[in-house]
A = this chain, B = another copy of it.
Amino acid sequence: MTSVSDLQAVLDYADTHMEDSLARLFELVRIPSVSTVPAHADDCRAAAQWLADQLSDLGFDASVRPTDGHPMVVGHQIDATCPHILFYGHYDVQPVDPLDLWETDPFEPTLQPQPDGDTHIVGRGASDDKGQLLTFIEACRAWKAVTGRLPIRVSMLFEGEEESGSQSLGLFLEKTAEELRADVMMVCDTDMWDRETPAITTMLRGLVGEEFTITCADRDLHSGMFGNAARNALQVASEALSSLRRSDGSVTLPGFYDGVEDLAPEIKAQWQRLPFDQGAFLSDIGLHIPAGETAYSIMEQVWARPSCEIHGVIGGYTEEGFKTVIPAKATSKVSFRLVAGQDPARIRDAFRAHIRSHVPEDCSVAFTSHGASPALSLPLDSPYLAATRNALSREWGRETALAGTGGSIPIVGEFKRKLGMDTLLVGFARFDNRIHSPNEKYDLSSFEGGIRSFVRVLAALSELEGNSAA
């Protein structure tokens, strides 16, 4: 339980100490913790140590935990009463190439004032995820500084391999399941709805990724000598791929929509209230005609409907010029985004059966799986969701959007499977942050508003009863 006057004092502290918070973000961005580049292994360790030191300074029982890859950082401060949250972030960043497209040194952060009055914090990881994770740490710092304690039980977990496949995470979660289990996960690695509207991402689509190679003749053939008569692998592939969707955009696989339910009326109503410009969504990418299922709005299609996309096709002669070859092989990559109710294994089976049905008896097809994960959705009746949502709405003066995300966030599935915990995805990034690209930036308003938001979220959660035994 926290008092209204405590909350205001903590918010004031956060505001008046914003320069110090920013200085710490600069320190962290300066550590080039690129996880996928072996030469940066020491930098990854340094970033982990920096975080552990910050947590220790704030009174956390914090340590750097080695793994077979880059280390984890774990910290606990559980002297408050329930509830107990586990905050997750990642200290590793994407590579910076192509370096020549950066206007400033990616590891020497700069402040760049913008015409709209906001300021960009420019540097690799400024947004993803160093800026985002620090909003939570700095919110904890403000609470500690003003009240001497955190209003709820907080554990934190920072990973150093999120950008390179999270190879160590699964085993680590299994080993530390008891230590890490809390009432709910909190992750700060997502976007706001728009510049003014906060968002909690509650629906995550799943994914079935498939690659297949069709082989017809035992070698490429000359079309003059064999054309018409010899099966063309690209013709077979084109027929198999084009028949994955009907003309109304729906996916043809038998049973594909089994278990798919209409959007909850509450979510649908809320989405209709949200500012979303379907025209701008398309014109931003150079298009103006919605593709996909004609019966659904773009927002529903992207967040709440399963999809099927062809990601790559290669076969035959693809260099400059022309070669009249009948390709013996054609390789395609396809994925399905799944929503709640769809079984990844059944979708995979149906897909493979569909492709096989298009491959003539004297040709063959080989499949490679590129992962299968079910969709996840946060229960809409979660008290943690309601409290967090209210806190965000108060800070931003707008109804908090309950958003879906078309993308998959594998760690959320990991935490659900390994620790049985639901995740609140609360982020302050903006759509234009250029994460993974040159000149990545985080808006100063994201950083400030993020810290203030988490100050309020901690207060709001302290009003709840926790379920945790911890």
Q: Quote the shortest CB–CB distance from A376 to chain B (angstroms).
A: 13
Q: Quote the shortest CB–CB distance from A358 to chain B (angstroms).
A: 10
The answer to whether B292 and A229 have CB atoms under 8 Å apart is yes
A230-264 at interface with B (beta carbon < 8 Å): 230-232, 234-235, 237-239, 241-243, 245, 249
Query: Which residues of chain B come closer than 8 Å to A222, judged between CB atoms?
Result: 406-407
Q: Quote the shortest CB–CB distance from A437 to chain B (angstroms).
A: 10
Choose one: B228, B292, B325; the contact of A228 (CB below 8 Å): B292
Which of A237, A281, A309 lies at the interface centre, i.e. has the most chain B CB atoms within 10 A of its CB?
Answer: A309
Shortest 3 CB-CB contacts between residues of A and residues of B: A224-B407, A218-B286, A228-B292
Query: Which residues of chain B come closer than 8 Å to A290, judged between CB atoms?
Result: 229
Q: Quote the shortest CB–CB distance from A342 to chain B (angstroms).
A: 14
The answer to whether B335 and A324 have CB atoms under 8 Å apart is yes
Q: Quote the shortest CB–CB distance from A403 to chain B (angstroms).
A: 12
A113 part of interface (Cβ distance < 8 Å): no
**Given contacts A225-B407, A311-B325, A313-B330, could you give 18 more A-B pairs where the C-beta distance is less than 8 Å?**
A221-B285, A223-B337, A225-B405, A228-B292, A228-B309, A229-B281, A229-B298, A230-B285, A230-B287, A234-B311, A238-B241, A309-B324, A311-B326, A311-B327, A313-B313, A313-B315, A314-B318, A324-B407
The answer to whether A337 and B227 have CB atoms under 8 Å apart is yes
**How many angstroms from the CA of A407 to the CA of B230 in the assembled complex?**
14
Choose one: B232, B237, B293, B313; the contact of A309 (CB below 8 Å): B232
Contact with B along A316-347 (1 / 0, CB 8 A): 11100111111100110101010000000000
Choose one: B211, B227, B337; the contact of A302 (CB below 8 Å): B227
Query: Which residues of chain B come closer than 8 Å to A315, judged between CB atoms?
Result: 312-314
A397 part of interface (Cβ distance < 8 Å): no
Interface segment, one of A84-92, A360-368, A450-458, A461-469: A360-368
The answer to whether B227 and A289 have CB atoms under 8 Å apart is no
The answer to whether A218 and B337 have CB atoms under 8 Å apart is no
A9 part of interface (Cβ distance < 8 Å): no
Contact with B along A123-167 (1 / 0, CB 8 A): 000000000000000000000000000000000000000000000
Instruction: Determine how many copies of this chain the complex contains.
Output: 2
Q: Given A229-B292, A302-B225, are A287 and B318 neighbors across the interface (CB < 8 Å)? A: no
Choose one: B224, B228, B337; the contact of A305 (CB below 8 Å): B228
A110 part of interface (Cβ distance < 8 Å): no
5 contacting pairs across A/B (C-beta < 8 A): A217-B287, A237-B313, A287-B362, A314-B315, A314-B318
The answer to whether B335 and A223 have CB atoms under 8 Å apart is yes
A371 part of interface (Cβ distance < 8 Å): yes
The answer to whether A219 and B322 have CB atoms under 8 Å apart is no
* Closest B residue by C-beta to A219: B285
**How many angstroms from the CA of A288 to the CA of B218 in the assembled complex?**
12
Choose one: B230, B321, B408; the contact of A370 (CB below 8 Å): B321
A280 part of interface (Cβ distance < 8 Å): no
Query: Which residues of chain B come closer than 8 Å to A370, judged between CB atoms?
Result: 321-322
Q: Given A235-B310, A312-B234, A312-B323, are A285 and B241 neighbors across the interface (CB < 8 Å)? A: no
Query: Which residues of chain B come closer than 8 Å to A96, judged between CB atoms?
Result: none
Contact with B along A174-201 (1 / 0, CB 8 A): 0000000000000000000000000000
Query: Which residues of chain B come closer than 8 Å to A207, judged between CB atoms?
Result: 324
Query: Which residues of chain B come closer than 8 Å to A237, judged between CB atoms?
Result: 238, 313
A307 part of interface (Cβ distance < 8 Å): yes
Query: Which residues of chain B come closer than 8 Å to A230, judged between CB atoms?
Result: 282, 285, 287, 291
Choose one: B216, B223, B307, B310; the contact of A234 (CB below 8 Å): B310
Query: Which residues of chain B come closer than 8 Å to A316, judged between CB atoms?
Result: 310-313, 333
Query: Which residues of chain B come closer than 8 Å to A217, judged between CB atoms?
Result: 285-287
